[in-house]
Amino acid sequence: MQDHETVTDIGPKEMKLNPGGSRTGIFDSQPLASGKNADDPFSVQNNKWRIPPTHRETDDEIKQRLYNHCQFWESYFEWALANEQATVDVRSTPTAIKIYGNGFGLKPVEELPEIIQSPYTFAR
C-alpha cells in the first residue's frame, strides 16, 4: 500500500491522481472568489451555518442558521455565474438542503451528513 498519490496528468484546468489500484481522482481548478466577504461563498460570513451549536437553539437561532445557509448557496451560485462555470457541484457539499433542478427542500435529520450533525442542531 502506497502512502501517497501519483499525479498521472496535469493540465491548465485539471489534475488527475492515482491513489492506487484502478481508481483515478480528477480535480478541476476553480477561479478564486472576489475577496469581498458578502460575495465570497467560502468566507466565514457565508458559512456560519457550519459552526456546530453549543446549546439547544431557539426557533429564531434555527431560522438564522437556515438563512445563513441560504446565503451560502446564493453566493455560491452568484460566484459560479460570475465566473462562467459550466457546471456547479451541489452534491459534494455537506448540507441540510437538497438541491433539485427546479427547487430545493430540507433533508430529514436522519439524512444529514455526519459532519454537520450535532446533538443540538435543529433540536427543539
Q: Is the pTM value of this prediction over 0.85?
A: no
Minimal CA–CA distance to 72: which of 107, 45, 33, 32? Answer: 45
Per-residue pLDDT of the chain (124 residues; tens, 9 = 90+): 455 667 777 776 677 777 777 777 776 666 665 556 778 888 888 989 888 888 888 889 989 988 999 999 999 999 889 888 888 888 777 788 888 888 888 888 788 776 666 655 554 4
Indicate the domain borders of the chain: 1-30, 33-116
Minimal CA–CA distance to 116: which of 72, 57, 56, 53? Answer: 53
pLDDT of residue 115: 60
